[in-house]
């Protein structure tokens, strides 16, 4: 069901990110065949659009994100960024650097995703030095521009991460990702560990950034409230497979698949009572 890529593939610019029949099998038991984490997943993210991959923990969505950024090697399938497909051979340092300008990632845990011994400035500069031929003044200006873009006060530039709050750290992580000027930014539960009010701020920030830079987003999330706020399209994953896909409004307001309905039913709202558990209902809040 719904295996078709989300978003129409119109003639014109190729999609920012295209994933076709992606499979990941982790070696190991489950009757010796290994664990099938991602099973024949296809979707595409047009340029400047935002797609959310939704599912409970263990649905394979993080593995999917790790494959797209090159932290995990797919067992089969195709990933193409801006029309050019990637090979699965061991990548050279230069190829890794080239890919860095295509896809960047923001991780869930803001406390461990920044080097504790690196100041905000040095963290962002590291990416700039790697990817752009800027002189010192140019770099400084660009760092300030990026901090401005993530609404982080300039006085934090020389702080170490431990002096920053979770929300501030996540802004640094976003600035670091943007420093590479990628076409796609993957947010792997990027706001899940933040307070709800901070979540809203960061999500607004990200949508502003999209308007300013035209970057595409791939949101990996279990939180449907977050998803509604940030995504144009939604892909629902369960046990490594896509069970439903479509425009965000349609999927959230008129879900077709029972699993999606259960996920939606699990969102707390006024008068909400926990649903009686049948099977393993989505436990994510």
Partner 1 sequence: MAGTGTPLLSAAGLLEEKRAGGGLLRDPVVLVSTGIIVLLVVIAVFAPFIATANPDSSNILAVNEAPSAAHLLGTDSLGRDLFSRLVYGARLSLLGPALIVCISSAAGTVLALAAAWFGGFFDQMVSRAADVLFAFPGIIFAIVAVSVFGRGLVAPVIALAIAATPYVLRVTRSVALRQRRLPYVAACYVEGVPAWRIGLRHLLPNVAPIILVQATLAFGYALVTLAAISYLGLGVQPPSATWGLMVATGQAAILGGHPEQSLYAGVMIVLAVVAFNLLGNRLAAHLET
CA-to-CA distance for 198 and 191, rounded, in angstroms?
A: 8
Closer of 131 and 261 to partner 1 (Cβ):
131
Between CA 13 and CA 19, with CA 18 as vertex, the angle to 5 degrees is 165
Binding site for partner 1 (CB under 8 A): 69-71, 93, 96-101, 103-105, 107-109, 112-118, 126-127, 130-131, 162-163, 173, 176, 180
Closer of 20 and 126 to partner 1 (Cβ):
126
CA-to-CA distance for 70 and 61, rounded, in angstroms?
A: 14
Instruction: Report in angstroms how near the CB of residue 23 gets to partner 1 at its nearest.
Output: 21
Closer of 166 and 247 to partner 1 (Cβ):
166
Closer of 59 and 104 to partner 1 (Cβ):
104
Closer of 90 and 273 to partner 1 (Cβ):
90
Instruction: Report in angstroms how near the CB of residue 270 gets to partner 1 at its nearest.
Output: 36
State the CB neighbour count (10 A cutoff) for residue 166: 16
Q: Report how far Cα 150 is from the mean position of its chain's Cα atoms.
A: 17
40 SS3 class: strand
Between CA 186 and CA 189, with CA 187 as vertex, the angle to 5 degrees is 145
- The structure tokens listed for 214 are 């035209």
Instruction: Report in angstroms how near the CB of residue 72 gets to partner 1 at its nearest.
Output: 10
How are beta strands 103-106 and 50-54 bridged, if at all? unpaired
Instruction: Report in angstroms how near the CB of residue 56 gets to partner 1 at its nearest.
Output: 21
Torsion of CA 58, 63, 65, 66, to 10 degrees: 140
For 70, phi and psi rounded to 5 degrees? Answer: 90, 15
Closer of 64 and 103 to partner 1 (Cβ):
103
Closer of 93 and 278 to partner 1 (Cβ):
93
Query: Are 181 and 158 spatial neighbours (Cβ–Cβ below 8 Å)?
Result: no
CA-to-CA distance for 263 and 260, rounded, in angstroms?
A: 5
Instruction: Report in angstroms how near the CB of residue 177 gets to partner 1 at its nearest.
Output: 8
State the CB neighbour count (10 A cutoff) for residue 90: 7
CA-to-CA distance for 126 and 115, rounded, in angstroms?
A: 12
Instruction: Report in angstroms how near the CB of residue 127 gets to partner 1 at its nearest.
Output: 5
Instruction: Report in angstroms how near the CB of residue 101 gets to partner 1 at its nearest.
Output: 8
Instruction: Report in angstroms how near the CB of residue 275 gets to partner 1 at its nearest.
Output: 33
Q: Give me the residue label for tokens 């499979």.
A: 23
Closer of 98 and 154 to partner 1 (Cβ):
98
């Amino acid at each position: 069901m719904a295996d078709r890529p989300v978003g129409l593939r119109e003639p014109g610019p190729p999609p920012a990110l295209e994933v076709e029949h992606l499979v990941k099998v982790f070696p190991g038991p489950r009757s010796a065949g290994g664990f099938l984490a991602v099973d024949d997943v296809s979707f595409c993210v047009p340029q400047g659009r935002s797609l959310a991959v939704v599912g409970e923990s263990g649905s394979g969505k993080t593995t999917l994100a790790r494959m797209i950024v090159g932290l995990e090697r797919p067992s089969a399938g195709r990933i193409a960024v801006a029309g050019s497909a990637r090979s699965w051979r061991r990548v050279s340092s230069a190829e890794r650097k080239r890919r860095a300008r295509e896809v960047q990632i923001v991780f869930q845990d803001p406390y461990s995703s920044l080097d504790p011994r690196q100041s905000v400035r040095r963290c962002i500069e590291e990416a700039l030095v790697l990817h752009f031929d800027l002189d010192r003044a140019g770099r400084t200006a660009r760092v300030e521009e990026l901090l401005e873009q993530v609404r982080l006060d300039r006085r934090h530039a020389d702080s170490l991460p431990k002096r920053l709050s979770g929300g501030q750290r996540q802004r640094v992580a976003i600035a670091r990702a943007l420093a590479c000027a990628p076409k796609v930014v993957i947010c792997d539960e990027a706001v899940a560990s933040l307070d709800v009010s901070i979540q809203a701020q960061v999500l607004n920030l990200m949508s502003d950034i999209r308007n300013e830079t035209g970057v595409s987003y791939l949101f990996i999330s279990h939180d449907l409230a977050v998803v509604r706020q940030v995504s144009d399209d939604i892909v629902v994953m369960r046990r490594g497979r896509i069970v439903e896909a479509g425009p965000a409004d349609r999927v959230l307001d008129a879900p077709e698949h029972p699993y999606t309905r259960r996920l939606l039913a699990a969102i707390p709202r006024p008068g909400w009572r926990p649903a009686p558990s049948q099977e393993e209902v989505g436990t994510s809040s």
